[in-house]
Amino acid sequence: MSAPIIFYDIPNKSPTCKAWSPNTWKVRFALNIKGLNYKTEWIEYPDIEALYHKLNLPAKYFKKDGSSYYCLPVIHDPSTNTTMLDSFDIIQYLDKTYPTTPPLITDELAPLHAAFVHAALPTVQYQLWNIVTLAVSNHLNERSEEYYRRTREADKGKKLEDICTEKEWKETEEGFGTVLKWLDRGGEGRELFLGDKISFPDLQIVGWLLWAKVSLGEDSVGWERICGWHGGRWKKIHDRLTPFMKVV
């Protein structure tokens, strides 16, 4: 067996699921769906920049002030000596490097998948962040929690405790409703974007749902509320990817 792909992820202290980030979950799903040999190296928030320097990986994203923004996911594939960041780019790489595994971003649909990402972030992810951010902070290990709270509160200009109100809940539900309208254009009640085949948008959607479930808590009122939106559709969509929620 070839050396495992090294997958870098941010841990939390949840006793039930250490993986929580919607961005890294997309890649974890891809690795699990493809059945690839990999291992997770857990990186705390303050150590991500040092990881980039260690791997000689240039930053791809930048903050408003022009400084580099260091984020995960990142993988290193020793079989090809390839190091990559960004979930979309990583999954395209996995599709092309391991062509006998289930494809998740075909060349024909890659432009539409990229458009989905562009549309989905302001429609759902930014709103859902308002709901989960305090819970995320509370579940992080001490060094990451201090870093996360300090940087996010500086960016928002308010305490994390003051970010989520009923207004944010309603806006998030509306955003999820918009995504359902996109899904239902392919057939009412659809749970996967391509019908019976898992593709990149499904990884993003269920990544959001896991973000909420792990952070808020599977037995929480908040997660129960999300599961009840739109006739329980989101719990069904979440459950479609349950076989691929392995954390190694």
* Whether residue 155 is found in the same domain as residue 234: yes
What pLDDT was estimated at residue 63? 87
134 within domain boundaries: yes
89 within domain boundaries: yes
The answer to whether the pTM exceeds 0.85 is yes
103 within domain boundaries: no
Give the torsion sign (CA, 107, 112, 117, 118): positive
Q: Say what percent of the chain tops pLDDT 90.
A: 95
* Whether residue 136 is found in the same domain as residue 169: yes
Mean pLDDT taken over the chain: 96
> Where a domain ends, among 75, 97, 119?
97
Q: For position 75, which CATH number holds? A: 3.40.30.10
> Where a domain ends, among 59, 74, 97?
97
Rounded CA-CA distance 151/137 in Å is 11
> Where a domain ends, among 48, 73, 97?
97
How many beta carbons lie within 10 A of that of residue 23, not counting itself?
Answer: 17
Q: Residue 11 carries which DSSP code?
A: B
What pLDDT was estimated at residue 1? 63
Structural domain including 91 reads 5-97
102 within domain boundaries: no
How many domains does the structure of the chain reveal?
2
What pLDDT was estimated at residue 14? 84
Rounded CA-CA distance 215/221 in Å is 12
The pLDDT of residue 27 is above 90: yes
- Give the tens place of pLDDT for each residue, 174-222: 999 999 999 999 999 999 999 999 999 999 999 999 999 999 999 999 9
